[in-house]
Amino acid sequence: MARESEISRLNHKIKRLSTLIEVNTLISSSLDLDRILENVMTISKQVMNADASSLMLIDEKTNELVYQVALGAVGEKLKQEFRLKMGQGIAGAVAQEGKPLLIEDVYSHPKFYRGHDEATGYRTRSMIAVPLKVGDRITGVAQVINRLDGDAFDRDDLELFIALCSMAAIAIDNAKMHRSLMEKQRLVKDMEFARTVQESFLPQKTPEAAGYSFSAHYTPAQEVGGDFYDFIMLDNGRIGIVIGDVSGKGVPAALYMAKLGSDLRTLAFTEADPASALARLNDLLAERSRRGMFATLLYAELDTRSGSITISNAGHLPPLVKRADGSVKKIQSTGGSPLGILSGMKFGQEAIGLEPGDTVVLYTDGIIEAMNAREELYGYERLEAVIKKGAAEPHAQKAAIIEGVNRFTALSPQHDDLTLVCFGRIP
Amino acid sequence: MKVEISTEKMHAGFLMKLKGDVDMNTSPDVRSTLSDVFKQATPGAKALFIDLSQVRYMDSSGIATMVEAMQTCMKQGMRLRLVELSPSVRDVFELARLASVFEIFPSLTEASAGL
């Protein structure tokens, strides 16, 4: 008799071990978190011969246990309606203390939280709750409830379920890491895409107009930024020249910029002058304002026939003009506030004459605020000095400014987009 | 550098004090505190005062947060009043011509008057 019972005990053990091997193969065959969770609990329910099973993971933000899988008659209701705080109920206590619990009669256990049964009409009798652990870190709790044969769970069941949960915990952790890695990769791809989209909105070439020369430079920062510039070929020998900077960085700034750029292209043709184009553009942006986003923007119309430029400046940095005599002057315009904040704003504009040999420099704060290793800013004085010293011809002027900034920042990482537009009348 | 945010209820509404840098990294915290303040605001609240005297640096994300606060105030029938701009914030506001958009006051006493 003793030998038979020994054989039966060993057979039972072999069966459980082969089940565990099977379980391990099944749960480690996927990296899909949802599938693993579902698999783990379906197998647990079968292997443990349980009426219901559930798995909760700790929400790191709220430190609450959240149902991921709940199998059984009232599983769906549980999943939708219940969260447990640390220490609350049996699962909460197991998550807090990190020790498994085998409970033969649940209603006599002081930690049992009757809320679930009362809300679902289910009657919990016996259960096992085991913490999901990776090293010392507790990531959740798995439970099996009520043996189907009506008996209470025993120590054998506990041992098996602990083994099963230790494999599940590792598989779940791997899948979570895989998921976050995939998300990061997707984010990087999205960023790269956003940058190509953004750059595709910038002009591919500079305008050609007899007696004038145009040059532009754009270096994006590591993240997608919100700088932009544009040249718009209007009628009667007029050319629209735009430079701007959208608040913030990343995809939202790039999308805002794209919309703003295309709106301004339309308004440049339909509105009478730069000031009214900006007033209209401001209203369009303010009407659909999101998260306080706004843009500083300067719009200038150059009349290549007369050499006159009309400038309207919406909160953008003042342009610098280098005259043929070598003097450099900031154009402090009446303009107005940045675009997209309040609708109904009025914008001023001023006209200046461009003589042969004069050059205008438009730029964004990426130039003024370029920082070196000693955390000093490039600033206006340095920019003005470079412009004064350099050649007046726009291409040479642009190259000298960029070289000046690069020499100043040396190897320090570039935090903001660097955008520069130079144009002038050929002597 | 981080930002320290404190809020208190006042007779005329709410006062938020910011200390440190209000930039790309810290603006989300300021936004979420603002959103809590707006949830608490009762119909009697007349204004939100934001004290900027201890702000060392504010970038365009920080300004966008102020713009959003102003837009939300307008929707809720409140005023946004910026109080005591630090020199660096004042420079940014002047350069970007933001002074015409916001209501700016040299002190809380002056900001609370006439509400």
CB B68 to CB A296 under 8 A? no
The model's pLDDT over A9-22, given as tens digits with 9 standing for 90+, comes to: 888 888 888 888 88
Q: What is the mean pLDDT of residues A349-362?
A: 95
Separation of alpha carbons A114 and A93, rounded Å = 14
Phi, psi of B11 (to 5 degrees): -55, -45
Instruction: Please state, in angstroms and rounded to a whole number, the distance separating the CA atoms of residues B86 and A27.
Output: 59
Asked whether residue A208 falls in the same domain as residue A156, the answer is no
Asked if ipTM goes beyond 0.95, one says no
Residue B13: closest CA among B48, B50, B52: B48
The per-residue DSSP string of A156-171 comes to HHHHHHHHHHHHHHHH
Per-residue pLDDT, B1:
63
* Residue A59 included in any domain: yes
- Looking at the structure of chain B, the number of domains it has is 1
Domain end: A175, A190, A225, which one?
A: A175
- CATH assignment of the domain containing A77: 3.30.450.40
CB-based contact (8 Å) between A341 and chain B? yes
pLDDT at B41 over 90: no
Question: What DSSP character marks residue A339?
Answer: B
Amino acid making up residue A48: M
Q: Are residues A130 and A254 in the same domain?
A: no
The answer to whether A289 contacts chain B (CB < 8 Å) is: yes
Q: Residue A183: is its pLDDT beyond 70? A: yes
Mean pLDDT of A59-82: 77
Contact A218, A419 (CB under 8 A): yes
Does residue A180 lie within any of the structural domains? no
Residue pairs spanning A and B at CB distance below 8 A: 61
How high is the pLDDT of residue A80?
A: 65
* pLDDT value, residue A152: 92
CB A291 to CB B64 under 8 A?
Answer: yes
Same domain assignment for residues A140 and A241:
no
CATH of the domain at B61: 3.30.750.24
Nearest Cβ partner for A315 among B69, B70, B97? B97
In three-state secondary structure terms, A128 is strand
Residues A253 and A210 in one domain: yes
Selected residue of A246, A257, A291, A417 to mutate for chain B interface (largest B Cβ count, 10 A): A291
Do the beta carbons of residue A142 and residue A165 sit within 8 Å?
A: yes
Q: Which of B64, B69, B95 sits opposite A247 (nearest CB)?
A: B64
Chain B residues in contact with A338 (beta carbon < 8 A)? 96-98, 101
Domain that holds residue B98: 3-112
Alpha carbons A42 and A71: distance in angstroms, whole number: 7
| The domain boundary residue, chosen from A141, A175, A209 | A175
A231-264 residue pLDDT tens: 999 999 999 999 999 988 877 888 888 889 999 9
**Residue A139 resides in a domain:** yes
Q: Look up the domain containing A157 and give its range.
A: 2-175
Residue A45 has pLDDT above 90, yes or no: no
> How much is the mean pLDDT over chain A?
89
CA-nearest residue of chain B to A293? B64
Pairwise CB contact (< 8 Å): B67 & A292 = yes
Q: How far, in Å, CA of B84 to CA of A411, rounded? A: 37
Residues of A in contact with B22 (CB under 8 A): none
- Residue B98: list chain A partners with CB under 8 A: 315, 337-338, 341
Query: Do A284 and A390 lie in a common domain?
Result: yes
Interatomic CA distance for residues A415 and A17, integer angstroms: 58
pTM beyond 0.90, yes or no: no
Dump pLDDT digits (tens) for A108-152. Answer: 988 888 877 888 888 999 999 999 999 889 999 999 999 999 999
